[in-house]
């Protein structure tokens, strides 16, 4: 089983949860609460709207946020998926353009969906509206213990859906 998924289950048990979410809606509510709390308690999360540029290093699994009025911030990164200008989403698991090392968070979501029989997390992708995109991003962040999420332009009008990790939580779980 994916190390991130095992860590997620352990975190939930440590928090007193006796069972993991069993429906997509329950997962979305939990994930959105988690992500909102994380992003509003962190300077980077509170200032993502002020990012002037970003660099995603696919070889190192790092994202650097550039700000006009403050120093750049670099964090570990996972690619949850990609969003095309035609409104279609493709999960990062098995994505041909995403290095395998950067797919762990997306694979954890897929495996969670499989274990809990949550159909919405098992489809490869497809037409997606903004609300569903936000839900997918929150779920990927929740399961992978991310500090936040970021949508950044890539390619011809598409966006990369990134989970970022400001501390060593990703490295500790993945052993890197």
Q: Which domain holds residue 152?
A: 3-174
Mean pLDDT along residues 50-58? 95
Q: What is the pTM of this model?
A: 0.91
The predicted structure's pLDDT at residue 33: 94
The total number of structural domains that make up the chain: 1
The predicted structure's pLDDT at residue 105: 94
Least confident of 47-51, 95-99, 155-159: 155-159
pLDDT at 171 over 80: no
Q: How many residues does the chain have?
A: 176
Q: Are 144 and 105 in contact (CB under 8 A)?
A: yes
Higher-confidence residue: 14 or 145?
145
pLDDT at 137 over 90: yes
The predicted structure's pLDDT at residue 59: 94
The predicted structure's pLDDT at residue 167: 87
| Residue 116 confidence class, pLDDT cut points 50, 70, 90 | confident
Mean pLDDT along residues 9-23? 75
- DSSP 3-state assignment of 129? coil
Beta strand segments in 58-175, E = 62-67, 73-83, 88-91, 125-127, 148-154, 158-165
pLDDT at 52 over 70: yes
Least confident of 7-11, 78-82, 144-148: 7-11
pLDDT at 1 over 60: no
- pLDDT tens readout for residues 78-109: 999 999 999 999 999 988 989 999 999 999 99
Q: What is the 3-state secondary structure (H, E, C) of 20-62?
A: CCCCHHHHHHHHHHHHHHHHHCCHHHHCHHHEEEEEEECCCCE
């Amino acid at each position: 089983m994916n190390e991130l998924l095992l860590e997620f289950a352990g975190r939930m048990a440590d928090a007193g949860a006796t069972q993991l979410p069993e429906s997509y809606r329950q997962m979305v509510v939990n994930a959105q609460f988690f992500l909102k709390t994380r992003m509003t308690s962190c300077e980077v999360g509170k200032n993502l709207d002020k990012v002037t540029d970003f660099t995603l290093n696919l070889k190192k699994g790092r994202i650097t946020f550039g700000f006009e009025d403050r120093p750049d911030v670099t964090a570990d990164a996972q690619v949850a998926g990609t969003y095309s200008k035609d409104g279609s989403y493709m999960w990062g698991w098995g994505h041909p353009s995403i290095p395998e090392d950067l797919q762990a968070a997306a694979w954890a979501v897929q495996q969670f969906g499989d274990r809990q029989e949550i159909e919405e997390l098992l489809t490869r992708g497809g037409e997606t509206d903004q609300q569903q995109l936000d839900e997918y991003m929150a779920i990927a962040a929740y399961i992978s213990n991310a500090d936040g999420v970021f949508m950044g332009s890539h390619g011809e009008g598409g966006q990369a859906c990134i989970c970022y990790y400001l501390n060593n939580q990703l490295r500790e779980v993945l052993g890197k």
